[in-house]
Amino acid sequence: MNTQRDGRLAGKVALITGGSSGIGRACALRYAEEGADIVIADRDAARGAEAVAEIRSSSNCRALFVEVDVAEEASIEAMVAAAVKAFGHIDTVVAAAGISSAAYVSGVPAADNTPAEARHLINMPVANWQRVLDVNLTGVMLTDRVVARHMIEQGIAGTIVNVASSAARLALPGAADYCVSKAGVAMLTQVLAMELLAHQIRVNAIGPGFIETPMTQAMREKPDSHAAMIERTPMGRLGTPREMANTALYLACEESSYTTGHTLYPNGGMFVG
């Protein structure tokens, strides 16, 4: 078991939305290894309890699950209040909760089998577009600002790490809702970073490529989709959730003290090769 007394997040409290699955869960485990107490915020209480148990069994850190729907402002306010009530303060947040489409349910292997053309903008139901923006963009904005208000009130020079996507910079037919939501997260990160400079709160984002999480499970199971993901990735493999957590960790801790408003793209060289 780790002692984490000299960890990079020792003494800090981290709040992680989407923290019971995939990238968020890897961040929770990685941050706990570095000494942070962890608040996992997510929708599924049973999976949240499992993630909390995993943290408690692998570290000496405190861990708590809080149920949240990031599409609801009141739910986010309740999440932050619960975290502060339990651990006193929040020093760092990972806004990882997200969906790949309105039909996506994480951990459910069945893909959205709607043909790509039916998902083109000219055919996309407005409700689907709205749902993706509500969760992926407005959910991040609300999470960030409720946490930032708390940090400002308590005089905490905290860090915020948003989870965007490499799709913020790729025009993927059939995924306009997702691409636009993630491009929005990248810009939100920039504007918020400027607005929070005076409070010594840094705001950054990660823009993962294709990562081995429930979100890509259905694509990984289909040989042609799997091959297409590899084809798009110069490193020739998918990324791991832990690699994403290591990138988020850098942005959350003192090592990135001169970095704000930046989106780092851990994507196997996708924008280079």
Q: Which residues bind ligand NAP (CB under 6 A)?
A: 17-18, 20-24, 42-44, 68-71, 96-99, 105-107, 135, 139, 163, 165, 208, 210-211, 213-216
Q: Which residue's CB comes closest to ligand NAP?
A: 22
Minimum CB distance to ligand NAP smaller for 76 or for 253: 76
**Residues belonging to the active site:** 178
Pairwise CA distance, residues 259 & 51, whole Å: 30
Give me the least distance between CB of 158 and ligand NAP, in Å please: 20
Looking at beta carbons only, is 71 or 156 nearer to ligand NAP?
71
- Distance of closest approach, residue 178 Cβ to ligand NAP, in angstroms: 7
C-beta closer to ligand NAP: residue 60 or 217 = 217
Distances (CA, A) of 245 to 22, 29, 110, 131: 10, 9, 26, 26
